[in-house]
Structure 1
């Protein structure tokens, strides 16, 4: 593993995956990759608390961003001590609003039976939904997503813990809306690309792809 992304999803992770692969550090695992049954089953074992061989879990990958891996950041960073640790983040208000209108909205619509079909016709495997429910809603957010004050404290405390526990020599910080290629390229020791930094999967795009009604960001 070359890069371990430890920041939550909805913090530029799909754009980061594209950038990491453009810089030669891919392939990079992202939650979207769990829509294949094999990857989802691997991570279901993790979500269920099984003891796993992280090298087996990440077989075929050189990097990871987003959920599910960010939920197990301590274990994964310990398993790959030579990998860079990417702390991607954004301001809390932007993070909360994005989660509320994307993954939370999907969860609520699915529970209410109002989630429409995906435009691509893809039906994620049951293990995919199990991983999301277990790692995001039960573990990371402790079933308290609607408690905004608690979420804000948790979010700040988590970022502080990462900064405290990961040596500065390994840590690469990247802030959505502020940083582009430079922190990644510098850490990897490669030239900064001349093309614009990727901008993928904003709230509207997510909602359309997930079967939710499109609305303004």
Structure 2
């Protein structure tokens, strides 16, 4: 089911068969392939400062990845999945303690990704949302949906 290191062989329809949308990793790593396969898809790019993003990753995904280094064991049942996740999480920079210590490089990778998305996604299919700073109005207008009668979420906590 997973095409760990070759997204050109991925069966996107099978992977996303029960979904109308996808968020976060590993999907974001394959946005270009997904846009080729689903050329009318809308893309929402959520951005924040590189410092805030790095601290969040450091205290969540990176920390948890180090705790379960058993993913490297090829005899584990989900080894292919974990290889794909490691690849998709910034070419191994999130799962590798030594690579992750190069904070400036990891932050640059994050900022480069943002710029690549802005460059590669057609403007009429892209919405850039500032984490904690935007509103339902902007999002719902982009998605052509009614604004819900609940407060817009304004937190993203490592808790």
When normalised by structure 1's length, the TM-score is 0.61
Contact 1:71 1:140 in 2 (8 A): no
Q: Aligned partners of 1:187, 1:78: CA distance in 2, in Å?
A: 20
Equivalent position of 1:195 in the other structure: 150
1:140-173 Cα offsets, whole Å, 9 max, x none, are: 7695322111112222221111111111111111
Superposition pairs of residues 118-133 of structure 1, within 5 angstroms? 126-127=78-79, 128-133=81-86
- Structure 1 vs Structure 2 CA RMSD: 2.5
The farther-off stretch of 94-103 and 195-204 is: 195-204
Aligned equivalent of 1:148, options 100, 103, 121: 103
1:62 has 2:20 as partner:
yes
1:136 has 2:89 as partner:
yes
Gaps of 5+ in 1: 1-41, 113-124, 205-217
SS in 2 for 1:88: strand
Equivalent position of 1:77 in the other structure: 35
1:97-116 Cα offsets, whole Å, 9 max, x none, are: 0000001111122239xxxx
What is the deviation of 1:180?
Answer: 2.8
The farther-off stretch of 152-161 and 78-87 is: 152-161
Gaps of 5+ in 2: 71-76
Q: Aligned partners of 1:54, 1:136: CA distance in 2, in Å?
A: 19
Superposition pairs of residues 166-205 of structure 1, within 5 angstroms? 166-198=121-153, 202-204=157-159
Equivalenced residue count is 149
What is the deviation of 1:82?
Answer: 0.8
Equivalent position of 2:61 in the other structure: 103
SS in 2 for 1:102: helix
Q: 1:170 to 1:88 in 2, by over 3 A?
A: same
Contact 1:87 1:174 in 2 (8 A): yes
